[in-house]
Amino acid sequence: METIKAKVYYEDTDAGGVVYYANYLRFLERGRTEFLATHGMDVAEYHRRGQIFAVAHVDINYRKPARLGDIIEIKTGISEIKHASLTFVQRIERDGTLLAEASATLACVDENGKPRRLPEELANLPTV
C-alpha cells in the first residue's frame, strides 16, 4: 500500500472540530490520485485522452474521528482489477490508529459514460 500524509484543516471539520464525514471521501480521492501518480500515471492525462475514472461504488467504515490539526495517513492499494474497473482498498490512520477504512470501485468510461477497457498500464498494477 502507498501512503500519503495530510493535515486536517478547519475547512475539513464540523462545528465540533471533527472531520465532517463526507470529507473523508476527499482524503480518499487524494490517496487514489497519488497512488496512481506514484506508479507514473497522470489522471489529468487520462482525462484528456477520454479515459475517465468514475466512482461506481464506495463502502466506508468510520472507526474513530479525525480532528482539527491532526496529521493523518491515507494508505491505498488495489484489491481487484477487471476489464473496465478497479477496486481500491484504503485506510485512514492517525499515529497507527485506524480512523476509517474504505473500498472504492472505479469504472473506466469515455466522455459519454460508456465503459472502456482499462489502459494496459493500469490493468498491470500490483494488487494487495
List, by residue number, the catalytic residues.
Answer: 14
φ/ψ (deg, to 5) at 40: 80, 20
d(CA 62, CA 7): 18
Secondary structure element (H or E) that encloses residue 121, with its range: helix 120-123
**CA-wise closest residue to 100 among 125, 128, 76, 127:** 76
Residue 120: other Cβ atoms inside 10 A:
7
> Per the structure block, which three cell numbers stand in for 105?
470501485
Asked if 102 and 60 count as a contact pair (C-beta separation under 8 A), the reply is yes
